[in-house]
Structure 1
Amino acid sequence: MPSKKIKFNENEIAIFDDAVIYKRGDYWQFRIWLTKERKYARFSLKTRNRSTAEDKAKLHYHELMALQMQGKSYFSITTKDGVAMYLEQRQKDVEAGLIVKGRYSTINTHLEHWLEFIGRDTKLKELERTDCENYYAERTKTKKGLKISQTTVLNEQSTINAMLSWLYKRKETYIEAFDFKPLPKLDRGKEENRRALFTDNEFKAISLTLDAYIKEAEKDLTNSTNLIQAITGYYLGFSSITGLRRGEQLQLRWADVVDMEHKEARIKRFDLLKITVRGETSKVGKTRKFVIKDFGYLEGIFRIRKAKLTQKMTEQQAKQHIATELIFSTNGTTAITPRAIGYHFNKILELAEIKNIETRDLVPYSFRHYFITQRVNSNLPPAAVAEICGTSITQIEKTYYHTTEDKMVSNALADYEYINGMLVPK
């Protein structure tokens, strides 16, 4: 293959007369001159053993010969470039309706974490199957001491190997997947492995704080900061009563929500809203419809939007006029950002005096966990909960059907009932 005359030093061992291996420090290195590219290919063989180094060098030699015969370049793109290539393809999948924007965003986040671990300038063709065997250990060593769940890391590993398989098929890597260390099976009965959610008292405190937070912002909506605060407040309130995923909720349009009727409860008035989650915005790609009770969140954000209309309209006319606009947006076309959602969520929890926010891993998505858990604890059938939340029955049973003190007491007193305040056998 090479036409350049090869000169060997004393400490170099020839491989097929035109390549060499040599030691740098404790590890063996490989070097070969590539005529077509007029460059030396150099890389570590990642072994201290001479015999292993020779075997690996011969393997690389034959692979390089095959590439040259096919007219392909050896010199590898970086991991950063490989991720960019893969994300470009996944963006096309979004445009084709094969995956939703939320899924693309998740893939992007997963691969960003991988780049931080593996290095952005690492050559793809220098990757070994064992390079990510300590991925879980490193990912759980976060700078801020935040807890990273095992499920999160497992999902990231799946995304990483999906990308690697895609790159392998395009001859950008020599390996098809990483050999991640197998992780122990999660015991979801343990408290620490349950989804992070609020207590009932915390949820009440958050709801009261949220109302005050929105009212404070609404005192001057000409101020852009206040406008974002109010809309984000309504977003968080709506999230707490619908259990929608972030991507689903941010892509809701006014036409997707229908005000069915008004009801008077003993405590407060509420609306019944029929919500349509379009398939193209759902994580599972399936359209679903469900009805929820709204205690004024949609009405509040509609009032803000209606006030910005330049001509006088009835409520019905206004809703028809803005039907295609995004609900949780300052301009109807661009949704509020995840950064804004996270910032105001933390502010509200701080004002509501919620304890141990970081160690409990409480995030805006915790509203969804609370919503689902409430319906599970209300003895709603798993199929009904799954239908409302756009997930599988298996996922509901696996993740949310865990024992609580209230449920244990309820089970113990299943054959008793309260009559005039007294507990008597049924």
Structure 2
Amino acid sequence: MSKTQSSWQKETHELFDGGCKVLRTNQNGDVYQFHVWVKTEGKLYRKSLRTKHLETALEKGKEEYINIMSRVNSGKKIFSDDVATVAKRFLYWKNEDVKAGIIGKSRLGTIKTHIQHMLSYLNTDMKVGDIHTGTFLGYYTWRKSGNSSVKAKNSSVTEGTISGEYSTIRLFIKYCYREGFTDISADRIEIKKSDRSKLLTNVRRDTFTEEEWERLYTGMRSFCAKKNCENEIEYYEKQIFRNYILGLANTGMRTGELEQLQWRDIIDYRKTDDYGKTKEVVFLQVRAETSKV
């Protein structure tokens, strides 16, 4: 430890061969301060040690320096950006997923809307580093009260909508954690649980009745029959259309989820069902990156 001094400093103590300083300044009086230059970000980190006792200040300074160096070596950020700035980077990252075919444009549009609501809730000048485990506990009530500044076609907010927004918020926090903007991982974010009974009863995408389903597949069979097509091209296109519609109806998938299916999403195939009947049964998986759930 060495002791140096300049005109604006009343007293300065260097620690770790000059890696950081514990000092008292003319402005802060007798309260010791901590200074360290963060090379990776090109900024000076300053913090009050909240003590006038030298030995206590030196111990706190050592702990602070070790903590900061640990974060730097782990790729974490010391200086936090505001949520609006990081949200732009997050959306740019998701746009790259669109280019790569991982998600669809409509899904990106939904994510953008969710992020706009989140920013309206947080205030855009809030630092990402200030987000804590309980930051979003009031989000549910806030959304239900209609306080979001984002204009919507329908002012009513359903349980399913908020549940989808929570998923995007967690994805945003996961991105921030991975990029080193926060120490809070997505699984530590506390949220108000949605009313599961409303999620189950207020289903907007109702399933077909048996009668409706029979009318659909028999009608499609007739519509796509070769005798009702003028040429091979029309027959081919109708078969694609038929398989697409029946795929949606059979699986309950969203259009974006179905359109992004790949061969690797077929996880099982069998010709005998669980009751011993001979049928062709295909088991598909919907990847998390292509789903809104």
Structure 1-normalised TM-score?
0.37
The match for 2:15 is: none
CA distance in 1, matches of 2:64, 2:166: 27
Deviation at residue 155 of structure 1 after TM alignment: 0.9
The answer on 1:96 being equivalent to 2:105 is no
Q: For each residue in 1:261-308, what CA deviation from the matched residue of structure 2 results, as whole angstroms up to 9, or x when unmatched?
A: 59xxxxxxxxxx7637599x94214479xxxxxxxxxxxxxxxxxxxx
The match for 1:34 is: 36
Determine what percentage of the aligned residue pairs are the same residue: 22
The answer on 1:154 being equivalent to 2:163 is yes
Q: For each residue in 1:232-261, what CA deviation from the matched residue of structure 2 results, as whole angstroms up to 9, or x when unmatched?
A: xxxxxxxxxx9xxxxxxxxxxxxxxx9985
One-letter identity of the residue aligned with 2:197: L
Aligned-partner SS, 1:155: helix
Give the alignment partner of residue 74 of structure 1, picking from 78, 85, 104.
Answer: 78
Deviation at residue 70 of structure 1 after TM alignment: 6.2
Structure 2-normalised TM-score?
0.51
Residue 285 to residue 100, structure 1, CA distance change in 2 (3 Å): farther
CA distance in 2, matches of 1:58, 1:114: 37
The match for 1:27 is: none
Q: For each residue in 1:47-106, what CA deviation from the matched residue of structure 2 results, as whole angstroms up to 9, or x when unmatched?
A: xxxxxxxxxx99976542323556865212221121112211211111111111111111
Aligned-partner SS, 2:164: helix
Q: For each residue in 1:171-227, what CA deviation from the matched residue of structure 2 results, as whole angstroms up to 9, or x when unmatched?
A: 12111122112233224575xx34399xxxxxxxxxxxxxxxxxxxxxxxxxxxxxx
The answer on 1:84 being equivalent to 2:93 is no
Contact 2:87 2:115 in 1 (8 A): yes
- For structure 2, list consecutive stretches of 5 or more residues without a partner in the other structure: 1-18, 49-60, 207-215, 217-223, 230-237, 248-253, 262-284, 287-293
Give the alignment partner of residue 283 of structure 1, picking from 244, 248, 256.
Answer: 256
CA distance in 1, matches of 2:62, 2:162: 36
The match for 1:2 is: 20
CA distance in 2, matches of 1:161, 1:61: 31
Deviation at residue 161 of structure 1 after TM alignment: 0.6
CA distance in 2, matches of 1:2, 1:65: 11
One-letter identity of the residue aligned with 1:80: A
One-letter identity of the residue aligned with 1:175: I
Contact 1:128 1:175 in 2 (8 A): yes
The answer on 1:174 being equivalent to 2:178 is no
- For structure 1, list consecutive stretches of 5 or more residues without a partner in the other structure: 20-32, 44-56, 198-241, 243-257, 263-272, 289-390, 393-426
The answer on 1:163 being equivalent to 2:163 is no
151-160 or 175-184, which deviates more: 175-184
CA distance in 2, matches of 1:122, 1:59: 27
Equivalences, count: 190
Give the alignment partner of residue 123 of structure 1, picking from 98, 104, 127.
Answer: 127
Contact 1:87 1:108 in 2 (8 A): yes
Residue 141 to residue 90, structure 1, CA distance change in 2 (3 Å): same
The answer on 1:114 being equivalent to 2:125 is no
CA distance in 2, matches of 1:90, 1:117: 21
The match for 1:136 is: 140
Contact 1:100 1:282 in 2 (8 A): no
Q: For each residue in 1:331-378, what CA deviation from the matched residue of structure 2 results, as whole angstroms up to 9, or x when unmatched?
A: xxxxxxxxxxxxxxxxxxxxxxxxxxxxxxxxxxxxxxxxxxxxxxxx
Deviation at residue 113 of structure 1 after TM alignment: 0.8
One-letter identity of the residue aligned with 1:182: K
Contact 1:100 1:285 in 2 (8 A): no
Q: Return structure 1 stretches of 4+ with deviation > 6 angstroms.
A: 57-61
RMSD: 4.3
CA distance in 2, matches of 1:80, 1:172: 13
CA distance in 2, matches of 1:152, 1:71: 35
CA distance in 1, matches of 2:64, 2:196: 37
